[in-house]
Amino acid sequence: IKLASQEGVEVTSTGRTETSVEQRLQRVFWSVETIARYPFFGSSKNTNPEAFHLFWLYFLASFGFLGFLPFFLSWLAHIRRNKRVFDQDFWFYYALSLLAFFVSGLMKSITGWFMYLAPLFIVPAMYYLTYEVPGPGLEAPGESAAQSSHGALG
């Protein structure tokens, strides 16, 4: 980065890169160039495979806007459903997890089913893990005072 800041950055679609900054910017250039050529349907054959490190741009370049639309709408439906269910306090943390997932896709490849576990399943499931320990004299039916004093996990 120091070399790039001292000497400047030059990015072309076919030129050689000298710094890591130029390499990363060249990946953006490849994806944007493919999106400009094939905006509706994309082209996975004409997208440089090295651009895959920028997941969202590569996805858009490979499938175009029409291919990206079902993917986007399914995420939007998932987020809207969770917005109706979650309270305001948890919604903040859920939104942070979605933001982190989106930003990581801008910087690196997020492939594999396991990368989708956190934003789609794990973080939403954490909303249901909250519990309250009943106070003294408020034990659940069939529960002794000694059991309720140990808490839900004790």
> In this predicted model, what pLDDT tens digit does every residue of 94-147 receive, in sequence order?
999 999 888 888 777 777 777 788 888 888 988 888 666 666 665 555 555 555
Q: What pTM was estimated for this model as a whole?
A: 0.62
- pLDDT band, very low/low/confident/very high, at 154 (cuts 50, 70, 90): very low
- All structural domains of the chain with their residue ranges: 2-149
What span, in angstroms and rounded, lies between the C-alpha atoms of 101 and 127? 18
Locate 136 and state its tokens: 């003294």
Cβ atoms 26, 17 nearer than 8 A: yes
What span, in angstroms and rounded, lies between the C-alpha atoms of 149 and 154? 8
In the predicted model, is pLDDT for residue 5 greater than 90?
no
10 C-beta neighbours (distance < 10 Å), count: 14
How many residues comprise the chain? 154
